[in-house]
Amino acid sequence: MPATRDARLEILESAPPNSWVALAEDESKIIAFGSTYEEAVANSEKAGVKEPVIIKTPERWLPFAV
């Protein structure tokens, strides 16, 4: 079951800033991260996840208003 939007945001906010993050296929948890895209993919493969969702985190999170 995919993570809810709020759960995904909490997961991403817990990741290191300005890094590449590999999430599980259902986006429910962080599998690995790295300072480069290639490093995040390699680390997720080492963790046994072949098709992670890769996201780049910002240098800092800014407030969002609509």
Distance (Å, rounded) from C-alpha 51 to C-alpha 45? 8
- Residue 2 phi, psi dihedral angles, 5° rounding: -65, 150
24, 36 contact by CB (below 8 A):
no
53, 8 contact by CB (below 8 A):
no
Instruction: Give the pTM.
Output: 0.74
Distance (Å, rounded) from C-alpha 20 to C-alpha 4? 21
Distance (Å, rounded) from C-alpha 63 to C-alpha 22? 23
* Ordered mean pLDDT values, 10 residues apiece, the chain (66 residues): 68 84 89 94 94 90 67
